Chains A and B, each alone.
Chain A
Amino acid sequence: MSYNEMIESGEVRPPYAMLSDWVASMPAEMRQMKQAEAEALFRRIGITFAVYGEGGDPDRLIPFDMVPRVFMQSEWRKLERGIKQRARALNAFLRDVYSRGEIVRAGRIPARLVYENAAYEKAVVGFVPPRGVFSHIVGIDIVRTGRDDFYVLEDNCRTPSGVSYMLENREIMMRMFPGLFRNNRIEPVDQYPELLRRTLASVAPAKCEGAPTIVILTPGHFNSAYYEHSFLANLMGVELVEGSDLFVDGGFVYMRTTQGPKRVDVIYRRIDDPFLDPLCFRKDSMLGVPGLMDVYRSGGVSIASAPGAGVADDKAIYTFVPEMIRFYLGEEPLLQNVQTWTLWKDDDYKYVMANLKDLVVKEVHGSGGYGMLIGPKATKEEIAKFAELIKANPSNYIAQPTLALSTSPTFVAEGIAPRHVDLRPYCLCGDRVELVPGGLTRVALREGSLVVNSSQGGGVKDTWVLTE
């Protein structure tokens, strides 16, 4: 049985009390009208389908469910402490593995998992970015299985996307239902762009003079998250640039402007490491800036997230995050990891192969709900086929129990029904570690489905944190 976030023991839980009346009092015609209105708004804004780089038809709208997902202040406080703790530990880990590697020397994490990892960047070994921060925006995917049971499903330390949905979902809800926001005391999230700008400004390089110039570096309009790049640039009041708008000259990075070259201090990049600089990484990359890494490594410009940050967030490293929290912070983890079997270990391998029908198996570097097996939902043939894939390359896979994700009330054809949800909050790390009260709630719209990915029938919801 999965945890129902609205109804417990037949009673409506306090955070949903007001919403329950609101839902009940809304006539079906009104609901359909509002749903159409919401869709029209999303279309006008131009917000498109792809979240988390899952691909799919870029012109399709991601379904928006109008029933918000609600957290009490006390629930959120607990989550917030856990999320910030995790973001601190992940950054401490990145600082460590690019310098002395104490956690490896101490035998707390296998050396090969770190140093042979494709996301580990030899080019930045020994370089400490400003304030020692590698991952400036940590997206942590969280699921709930009980009133007090929250688990981290995965960490995203590179360039987690989807935050524009958090902001747009709120904006649209406030436009359509102003009354809801008068009658409920809901923590705001619209300060996020300003907090992000401040966070990026706080990691300006030492060579920066005066107020730092920040840009967002996008691969371009054909990228599935381009909307988000331009949306954030707009809200932060910074330039949105492509690689060809930037150039290196005499030890600094400049942006071409109509008034001539302007020095750039902080680059919030939304392109992957291998494409950042053809003189350091892939030499055929046309998306990056030639010479950028030399400027970066000599402290002439900051890059967020720092090149190499990805080594902290693959599914193999994930199993060691609780260990990182103990090792670097001397604390016990406040948020739990999902039990994970790593298939390169013999015992784990044997167990998983014998229990495939009950487990979820994922690729170590996969994302977007692809390349995975959901045992309980799979046919015998599908399981047999997947077993062959695992046998061919066991170290490419991890397995987890099938989690009973909590449900949140969701509009369906017949009215309202519980549907499974997850949560991605966006933790900001600069001179401070900050978190806006909220995040992106994804919902599996199909009855019984546990897959919240938008490419596979998932939608999004506004996420509320109530004030005391």
Chain B
Amino acid sequence: MKLKITHETSYSYDTPVEALVQSLRLTPSVHEGQRVCEWHITVSSGQRGVAFRDGAGDWIEGWSVRGPVDTVTVSINGMIETRDTAGVLRGHRETVNPIVYLRDTPATKADEALIRLARSVKGDDALDLSHKLMAAVAEAITYTPGVTEASTSAAEALELGQGVCQDHAHALIACARECGLPARYVSGYLHTSVEGKPHDAAHAWAEIHVGSLGWVGFDAANACCPDERYVRLGSGYDAQDAAPVRGMAFGISVESLDVRVHVEEVQQEQ
């Protein structure tokens, strides 16, 4: 599938800020499931400082903006060719030992309820167990936008029984780690054919390390493994660690954020 992606993140400040520094994890890496045809990042009035691939295989760019400035827009324009690998992440260049992802964070710490949920499931092997954990999380947390926030933890989301893809991913990560399986948060894009649901395009899911297969994606929000509709941007312990954009503005100002993501399928030319 060939996917055209446009992604704009705009920060507006009620009083101009002196400067802005950002760390962007906004470039898809190449692996068997995706090939980058074109990819452009621009930051309005910004200067690209550094660019490098980190140990987890994510491409990081550091940008700085010299103010005074009252609006900064990070724009992505790209074209990605994807392929269904049944969720298996193959050919992704990374050197971080998977055991590192057994460590929990405040957002992914398992409380008693999450531990109960994790232990309620039995699997024949790590892969089977992961599928069943995904199904259990999908059932325990109903997809409901607007009830949780960026700072909601896995435990809180499970208690609410409602949440969005971030909450599903956090809960699945917590359960997998509880079962001794390394798990991590993945941010990316999802192409949805249903019209009128633009918020679906920026997506997140979990990856679980299952023995010989290595990292496999599990999207509890849609109860499936990532296929050719998914574009993978980067990973981390949790949503904060895997965030596509991390930035800080210098100055006393109130920030407002506007995000627009659009993913559309481009028909292959004959």
The reply to whether the CB of B96 lies closer than 8 angstroms to some CB of chain A is yes
Contact with A along B10-26 (1 / 0, CB 8 A): 00000000010111000
Main DSSP-derived SS at the A contact region = loop
Q: Is the CB of A126 within 8 A of B55?
A: yes
* Nearest CB of chain B from residue A286's CB, rounded to whole Å: 10
Of residues 7 to 51 in B, which have CB atoms within 8 Å of A's CB atoms? Answer: 19, 21-23, 47-51
Q: How far is the CA of A283 from the CA of B242 in the complex (A)?
A: 13
Contact with B along A237-254 (1 / 0, CB 8 A): 000000000011111100
List B contacts of A112 (CB < 8 A).
99, 102
The reply to whether the CB of A431 lies closer than 8 angstroms to some CB of chain B is no
- Stretch of A40-48, A78-86, A295-303, A398-406 lying at the B interface: A295-303
The reply to whether the CB of A280 lies closer than 8 angstroms to some CB of chain B is yes
B64, closest chain A residue (CB): A249
The reply to whether the CB of A120 lies closer than 8 angstroms to some CB of chain B is yes
List A contacts of B103 (CB < 8 A).
116, 118
Q: Is the CB of A250 within 8 A of B49?
A: yes
List A contacts of B51 (CB < 8 A).
298
Q: Is the CB of A125 within 8 A of B95?
A: yes
List B contacts of A15 (CB < 8 A).
none
* Nearest CB of chain A from residue B178's CB, rounded to whole Å: 14
Contact with A along B41-85 (1 / 0, CB 8 A): 000000111111011100010101010000000000000000000
Q: Is the CB of A291 within 8 A of B62?
A: yes
Contact with A along B89-110 (1 / 0, CB 8 A): 0000001110110110000000
List B contacts of A146 (CB < 8 A).
none
List B contacts of A298 (CB < 8 A).
50-52, 62
Q: Is the CB of B50 within 8 A of A300?
A: yes
Known: A116-B102, A120-B100, A248-B64. A294 touches B95 (CB 8 A): no
List B contacts of A280 (CB < 8 A).
23, 246
Select which of B49, B96, B247 is within 8 A of A249 by beta carbon: B49
B250, closest chain A residue (CB): A247
Q: How far is the CA of A252 from the CA of B50 in the complex (A)?
A: 8
* Nearest CB of chain A from residue B177's CB, rounded to whole Å: 10
The reply to whether the CB of A115 lies closer than 8 angstroms to some CB of chain B is yes
Contact with B along A265-294 (1 / 0, CB 8 A): 000000000000011100100000011011
Main DSSP-derived SS at the B contact region = strand
The reply to whether the CB of B194 lies closer than 8 angstroms to some CB of chain A is no
Q: Is the CB of B97 within 8 A of A101?
A: yes
* Nearest CB of chain B from residue A100's CB, rounded to whole Å: 8
Q: How far is the CA of A278 from the CA of B21 in the complex (A)?
A: 11
Known: A99-B95, A115-B97, A122-B100. A278 touches B248 (CB 8 A): yes
Number of interface residues of A (CB under 8 A): 34
Q: How far is the CA of A120 from the CA of B246 in the complex (A)?
A: 21
* Nearest CB of chain A from residue B241's CB, rounded to whole Å: 8
The reply to whether the CB of A189 lies closer than 8 angstroms to some CB of chain B is no
The reply to whether the CB of A36 lies closer than 8 angstroms to some CB of chain B is no
Q: How far is the CA of A127 from the CA of B250 in the complex (A)?
A: 29
Known: A122-B55, A279-B22. A115 touches B99 (CB 8 A): yes
List B contacts of A180 (CB < 8 A).
none
List B contacts of A251 (CB < 8 A).
48-50, 62
Known: A99-B95, A116-B99, A118-B103. A126 touches B54 (CB 8 A): yes
List A contacts of B62 (CB < 8 A).
248, 251, 291, 294-295, 298
A115, closest chain B residue (CB): B99
The reply to whether the CB of A111 lies closer than 8 angstroms to some CB of chain B is yes
Select which of B48, B54, B100, B240 is within 8 A of A297 by beta carbon: B54
Most chain A Cβ neighbours within 10 Å, of B19, B50, B51, B102? B50
* Nearest CB of chain A from residue B196's CB, rounded to whole Å: 33
Most chain B Cβ neighbours within 10 Å, of A104, A111, A248, A293? A248
List A contacts of B97 (CB < 8 A).
101, 104, 111, 115, 125
Of residues 81 to 136 in B, which have CB atoms within 8 Å of A's CB atoms? Answer: 95-97, 99-100, 102-103
Q: How far is the CA of A124 from the CA of B60 in the complex (A)?
A: 13
The reply to whether the CB of A123 lies closer than 8 angstroms to some CB of chain B is yes
Q: How far is the CA of A249 from the CA of B247 in the complex (A)?
A: 13
B98, closest chain A residue (CB): A115
Known: A123-B54, A125-B54, A251-B62. A116 touches B49 (CB 8 A): no
Known: A126-B55, A251-B62. A283 touches B95 (CB 8 A): no
* Nearest CB of chain B from residue A267's CB, rounded to whole Å: 16
Q: How far is the CA of A294 from the CA of B22 in the complex (A)?
A: 10
Q: How far is the CA of A247 from the CA of B50 in the complex (A)?
A: 14
Q: How far is the CA of A290 from the CA of B250 in the complex (A)?
A: 10
9 contacts between A and B (CB under 8 A): A247-B19, A249-B66, A250-B47, A278-B246, A290-B21, A297-B50, A297-B52, A300-B49, A300-B50
Given contacts A251-B62, A294-B62, 8 further A-B contacts (CB under 8 A): A115-B102, A116-B100, A125-B95, A249-B21, A249-B47, A278-B246, A290-B247, A300-B49
Q: Give residues in B with beta carbon < 8 Å to A.
A: 19, 21-23, 47-52, 54-56, 60, 62, 64, 66, 95-97, 99-100, 102-103, 237, 240, 246-248, 250
